[in-house]
Structure 1
Amino acid sequence: MTIRISRRKFLSSAAVGAGVIAMPHLSRAADRPAVTHGVQSGDVGVDGGVVWARADRPSQMMVEVATTESFKDARALPPIAALPESDFTAKMLLENLPAGQDIFYRVRFRDLAHVNVLGEPVTGRFRTAPADRRDVSFVWGGDVAGQGWGINPDDGGMFTFATMAKYKPDFFLHSGDTIYADGVIPSEVKLADGKLWKNLTIPEKAKVAETLDEYRAAHKYNLLDEHVRGFNAEVPIFVQWDDHEVTNNWSLSKQLPAAYKERDINVLAARAARAFHEMYPMRESIVEPGRVYRTLSYGPHLDVFMLDERSYRGPNGPNQQTSYGPDAYFLGPDQLAWLKRGLLNSRATWKVIASDMPLSLIVYDDAANSKGSEAFAQGDGPARGRELEIAEILRFIKTAGIVNTVWLTADVHYAAAHYYNPNKAQFQDFDPFWEFVSGPLHAGTFGPNELDNTFGPEVKFIKAPGADKQNLPPSAGMQFFGHVKIDGATGQMTVTLRDRADVALWSTTLDPKPV
């Protein structure tokens, strides 16, 4: 549901009275509907963003929005329903807000059966994108609660999120694997040194997710962490998905392990997609309901192109095709055309392409036997299979004279910086560019992966555990995120790779070419 309020009305003095939510006297807190998992905002642009919350019963989400933390100028917006059909989640698109402004919002729920019964408010904030060339700052990463490494209070919980919050970023780009629907969270894991990792647990995470409620529960599990909830209330999320929102390495050819009673991958993907869209503050497409790929503009300096490398891919397999067809799809023709149009029409200084999988790191579909293709990379040599789409994109960017493209990704559970040099590539019809890899935010640490020379990647930085130390727990410290800052005056982009202890591991500053 879209709520429209004019900028003039929003900035005018708020009329108190009917517009202010009154709080009736109730004898017990349990009598009132509650916000169960904190609040979130997302997909913020120059004039607004999306606000999300979840209730504990059928109710209406009541939102007040203001430009001051005191809520002196607050206005109450028309309520929207939170019903069992959406697991009591609700999200509201706020539009026509002032640009470059701190926006404060307050959410509570009103009981549907007893309309005079209101719950306690929970507050959050976001900053709308600037209309002028001011500094922009954001963080990115992926991979949360993977490999059985859940919320361990003894280890501080998911405190990479607390570290990222220190930068007061304009937004958080979540590169996928937001959950591990295929991963069990045990109560304890024995570490190599004999110590125990102790997880908070919920019944639904004792098995792989198959039902809609189990997929929902996997998302709600992450929201049990205080650092995640605190981060969500302060930092808007730009979210995309990858494989673990459904199951490991899913594609149309996925052969499900014996742990699954539901044997149809399409049924699992549909349930997972519904839970994903319910649980995040995304702007939903009216052109293609459920679409994940979209453009998010954050002022004159930045456009972010959020890709979906799951919904339209062909089957995982050898992917050695020399001509483009359905079996070689990764983005698919429609998304490929959308990306070309968006890049061509963008007037932003920087065009960030948010890819949930890296371009030239080999990710096997069958990792145990080093077989099959899960990502773009098909091995050294000319472009083939899914690499044909990347070759097409890179050739188009060069031919169209598009400048200042940067690729950001996660997925492989280590940190790296890759410079793509056509002089060292097998496919050479492109201009040089950078790809930066971060993560995991809170999962096992792996890598490094084999590098494919098709597009000439040069490793400028890498931090990974090595082949003899795989699946390190978060307590080992190798949890990574990236921080990007764009200078408002010069347009320079500084990219820094950091660990959860906030150590700057590597950094570079990129000078923009004139747009």
Structure 2
Amino acid sequence: MTAGAGALLGGTALPGMAHEQGQEQGQAPALITADKARPQMPCGVMSGDITGNKAIIWSRTDRPARMLVEYANDEAFKNAHRITGPMALPGTDYTARVDLSGLRTGQPTFYRVRFQDAQNPSAISEAVNGSLLLPGGTQRDICFAFSGDEAGQGWGINEVFGGYRIYESMRRFKPDFFIHSGDQIYADGPIQAQVTLDDGSIWNNLVTSAKSKVAETLEDYRGNFAYNFMDANKRRFAAEVPFLVQWDDHEVRNNWYPGQQIGEAEKRYQQRDLNTLAGHARRAMFEYNPYRINQHDPDRIYRMFSYGPMLEVFMLDERSYRGKNSPNLQTELNEDAAFLGKPQLQWLKQALLRSHSTWKVIASDMPISIVVPDLNPDVPKGTYEAWANGDNGKPLGRELEIAEILKFIKQHNIKNVVWVTADVHYAAATYYTPEKARFTDFKPFWEFVGGPLNAGTFGPNEVDQTFGPDVKYVSVPQGMKQNRSPAELLQFFGIAKIDAKTRAMTVSIHDIDGKSLYKVEINPEA
């Protein structure tokens, strides 16, 4: 995204500005009764980027209209605070947000959103309600969910199947927040109305014009994000569970990297410059998520969230600063071998070093040791997409960054680091130990893989042995047919719970309907 686009987002959605413009107590404005004259809210409401006593509230309407937000500590909205928020305008595809601060930690906040028509101020939308819970103190357990990979491989919203029913399964766990580990959309994955399954039955998708082709324009990318909000399960979940989101490749195009040009072997694209596509994608992603925009670096995606003395979450960006995909065998950590890049790598080290929370969760949009080849038709064979290079030897290429992070954690005795990720379209639990590794200068740690939320199921992939992975659980069998549909129920998410008394973290992996498949309790290092 260009600096101008970042300024547009900051100026139109303006996190924090609405709060400064006018926060007051009072009753909701009167509503008119002609429904079709009122602004509509097709995407419901959403909260996210919660940290300390702050949270972003997000929504979208269908016309120029002003966002109105009320919030209170009880569902009856007694003594509610009201915020006159920003205008939702075409420049942000009629999305808007406010940044609530001064919220009470450790107890629910109830909110409702309306939009007031810019041309007809008496036309005010129906209210859409939401809630969130900011963790706080040491007296209450913390629970969060994690997964990724949504609407991929042509598997879209099938209302007969129950839509994105995994969101309803996650909602029943009442998580404090949800880490969406990337591939929020499949901008390179058109969706057809019907797909014939192996047994001859038909998978029926909801379809839109934006999902009928690969995304190339800003409107195409916006339409991809809007598509997922057509699912009632996601809207219900988003109204109750705050999101922390990052991106991976399919927000732009499969396996993309900065500066890439799409080769002639890929026939679907007219726009072949990945920097242009990524600019559209980043802007649409910021518009359609409850991001708190960094005022000093509006394009920045990596960030940290504090949940008090028990937990901090570090959200990485493994797309914006990487070198090009290659055989991944560089012998020194230079720009070609970069995955996080030097500034982000330094930020992560210092943020971990400053953390005083019991648990430090690193949200990586790609797994550490699972080998992910780049199989695009326009790249050479033997090219790799993720951290691992598959040679099972000493760290090379992007593995050098992981080695540097792990060594830093050990040198500074940073305790209780856990990684969560997605991307590979199956779930796994892996324990890393130096006794089994080629690189040994690190403390043992866990990595958990979730996903897909609603996409084709793949795997299991080869696992690189450089960092001594001991794979404790894999959710799919060896030799499985690839790209299995959600109808086969091989969709997965993770749940992590931190016990307020013992500080132990229990991580479990669940299937599409919430059945527990694997569970491990990790006791904190004192």
SS of 2:28 mapped into structure 1: coil
Q: State the Cα distance separating 1:366 from its structure 2 match.
A: 1.9
Given the superposition, is the C-alpha separation of residues 507 and 92 from structure 1 closer, same or farther in structure 2, using an over 3 Å criterion? same
Q: Are 1:456 and 2:462 counterparts?
A: no
Q: State the partner residue of 1:265.
A: 274
Given the superposition, is the C-alpha separation of residues 182 and 405 from structure 1 closer, same or farther in structure 2, using an over 3 Å criterion? same
SS of 2:278 mapped into structure 1: helix
Q: State the Cα distance separating 1:113 from its structure 2 match.
A: 1.4
Bigger mean CA offset, 41-50 vs 158-167: 41-50
Given the superposition, is the C-alpha separation of residues 29 and 4 from structure 1 closer, same or farther in structure 2, using an over 3 Å criterion? closer
Q: State the partner residue of 1:31.
A: 37
Q: State the partner residue of 1:245.
A: 251
Q: Are 1:81 and 2:92 counterparts?
A: no
Q: State the partner residue of 2:6.
A: none
Q: Are 1:365 and 2:406 counterparts?
A: no
Aligned pair partner of 1:320 in 304, 309, 329: 329
Given the superposition, is the C-alpha separation of residues 194 and 4 from structure 1 closer, same or farther in structure 2, using an over 3 Å criterion? closer
Q: Which runs of 5+ in 1 are unaligned?
A: none
Which amino acid in 2 is paired with 1:308? D
Percentage of pairs with the same residue: 50
Q: State the Cα distance separating 1:225 from its structure 2 match.
A: 0.5
**How far apart are the structure 2 equivalents of 1:468 and 1:22?**
57
Q: State the Cα distance separating 1:117 from its structure 2 match.
A: 2.0
Q: State the partner residue of 1:255.
A: 262
Contact 2:19/2:98 (<8 A) preserved = no
Which amino acid in 1 is paired with 2:387? F
Q: State the partner residue of 1:300.
A: 309
Aligned residue pairs total 505
Q: State the Cα distance separating 1:24 from its structure 2 match.
A: 4.0
**How far apart are the structure 2 equivalents of 1:351 and 1:425?**
23
Which structure 1 residue ranges, 4+ long, deviate > 6 Å from structure 2?
none
Contact 2:358/2:416 (<8 A) preserved = yes
Which amino acid in 2 is paired with 1:311? S
Q: Deviations over 1:149-169 (max 9, x none)?
A: 001112111100000000110
Bigger mean CA offset, 75-84 vs 437-446: 75-84
**How far apart are the structure 2 equivalents of 1:4 and 1:501?**
39
Q: State the partner residue of 2:124.
A: 118
**How far apart are the structure 2 equivalents of 1:119 and 1:438?**
37
**After the TM superposition, which residues 112-151 of structure 1 pair with which residues of structure 2 at under 5 Å, given as runs?**
112-151=118-157
**After the TM superposition, which residues 164-183 of structure 1 pair with which residues of structure 2 at under 5 Å, given as runs?**
164-183=170-189
Q: Are 1:481 and 2:493 counterparts?
A: yes
Q: State the partner residue of 2:4.
A: none
Contact 1:150/1:185 (<8 A) preserved = yes
Aligned pair partner of 2:354 in 326, 335, 345: 345
SS of 1:475 mapped into structure 2: helix
Given the superposition, is the C-alpha separation of residues 493 and 254 from structure 1 closer, same or farther in structure 2, using an over 3 Å criterion? farther
**How far apart are the structure 1 equivalents of 2:387 and 2:376?**
15
Q: State the Cα distance separating 1:465 from its structure 2 match.
A: 4.5
Q: State the Cα distance separating 1:513 from its structure 2 match.
A: 1.1
Aligned pair partner of 1:494 in 503, 506, 511: 506
Q: State the partner residue of 2:364.
A: 355
TM-score, normalization: structure 2?
0.94
Contact 2:459/2:480 (<8 A) preserved = no
Contact 2:370/2:462 (<8 A) preserved = yes
Given the superposition, is the C-alpha separation of residues 68 and 3 from structure 1 closer, same or farther in structure 2, using an over 3 Å criterion? farther
Contact 1:494/1:509 (<8 A) preserved = yes
Contact 1:446/1:466 (<8 A) preserved = no
Aligned pair partner of 1:378 in 389, 406, 415: 389
Q: State the partner residue of 2:288.
A: 279
SS of 1:447 mapped into structure 2: coil
**After the TM superposition, which residues 54-73 of structure 1 pair with which residues of structure 2 at under 5 Å, given as runs?**
54-73=60-79
**How far apart are the structure 2 equivalents of 1:185 and 1:152?**
11
**How far apart are the structure 1 equivalents of 2:307 and 2:199?**
46
Q: State the Cα distance separating 1:4 from its structure 2 match.
A: 8.1
**How far apart are the structure 2 equivalents of 1:443 and 1:394?**
32
Aligned pair partner of 2:410 in 395, 398, 413: 398
Q: Are 1:194 and 2:200 counterparts?
A: yes
Q: Which runs of 5+ in 2 are unaligned?
A: 1-13
**How far apart are the structure 2 equivalents of 1:344 and 1:194?**
55
Q: State the partner residue of 2:28.
A: 21
Contact 2:331/2:396 (<8 A) preserved = yes
**How far apart are the structure 2 equivalents of 1:496 and 1:192?**
31
Which amino acid in 1 is paired with 2:36? A
Which amino acid in 1 is paired with 2:78? K
Q: Deviations over 1:291-332 (max 9, x none)?
A: 110001112100000000000000011121001110001000
Which amino acid in 2 is paired with 1:267? T
Q: Are 1:389 and 2:401 counterparts?
A: yes
Contact 1:172/1:238 (<8 A) preserved = yes
Contact 2:51/2:307 (<8 A) preserved = yes
